[in-house]
């Protein structure tokens, strides 16, 4: 098992399951975040622009993660959500429901010290989570 799989297993386990679909979705979410302008910081900006900054801040911080609704996920991700859903052969409602469960845990795992990663994107964050090991 690769280290990347390890972090995905942590996220899937935190979600209360071992579903291959959840793991695949979590991996796709990582790629979606990493490939968007600004990476995780860009996602934070999108949340702030949509009035949902406090939700994202809770995920980054070291306290409890605030919940996000499927409708709020749709509000923030817009067309990216449609692309994501199509890639996974699910409808937008299913995708937004799944992401409302995955995003808080994933962002929390990517920011274990309560701070956004510096330049280098998510892959550097994963390396930090995994003790500097190759991802």
CB 105 within 8 A of CB 65: yes
> Is 23 within the bounds of a domain?
yes
CB 6 within 8 A of CB 109: no
Q: What is the pLDDT of residues 39-69, one digit of tens each?
A: 889 999 999 999 999 999 999 999 999 999 9
Range 104-128 average pLDDT: 71
Specify the CATH number for the domain of residue 33: 1.10.10.690
CB 31 within 8 A of CB 69: no
pTM of the complete model? 0.76
> Is 134 within the bounds of a domain?
no
Q: Which tokens belong to 129?
A: 């989570």
CA separation (Å) from 71 to 29, 105, 130?
17, 18, 33
What's the mean per-residue pLDDT of the chain?
79
* DSSP per-residue codes, 54-94: HHHHHHHSSSPPPP--HHHHHHHHTHHHHHHHHHHT--HHH
> Is 69 within the bounds of a domain?
yes
What is the radius of gyration, based on Cα positions, of the chain? 14
> Minimal CA–CA distance to 107: which of 7, 3, 20?
7
CA geometry: angle at 103 spanning 36 and 52, to 5°? 80
- Residue 31's domain comprises 3-129
> Is 66 within the bounds of a domain?
yes
Total domains, the chain: 1
**Most confidently modeled of 16-20, 23-27, 34-38, 95-99?**
95-99
Q: What is the pLDDT of residues 2-28, one digit of tens each?
A: 444 555 555 555 555 545 555 577 778
> Is 135 within the bounds of a domain?
no
């Amino acid at each position: 098992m690769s280290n990347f799989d390890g972090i995905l297993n942590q996220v899937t386990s935190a979600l209360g399951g071992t579903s291959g679909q959840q793991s695949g979705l979590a991996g796709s979410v990582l790629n979606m975040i990493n490939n968007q302008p600004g990476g995780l910081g860009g996602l934070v900006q999108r949340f702030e622009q949509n009035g949902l900054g406090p939700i994202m801040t809770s995920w980054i911080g070291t306290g409890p993660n605030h919940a996000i609704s499927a409708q709020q996920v749709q509000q923030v991700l817009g067309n990216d959500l449609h692309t994501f859903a199509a890639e996974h052969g699910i409808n937008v409602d299913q995708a937004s429901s799944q992401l409302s469960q995955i995003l808080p845990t994933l962002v929390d795992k990517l920011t274990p010290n309560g701070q956004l990663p510096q330049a280098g994107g998510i892959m550097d964050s994963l390396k930090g989570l995994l003790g500097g090991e190759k991802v």
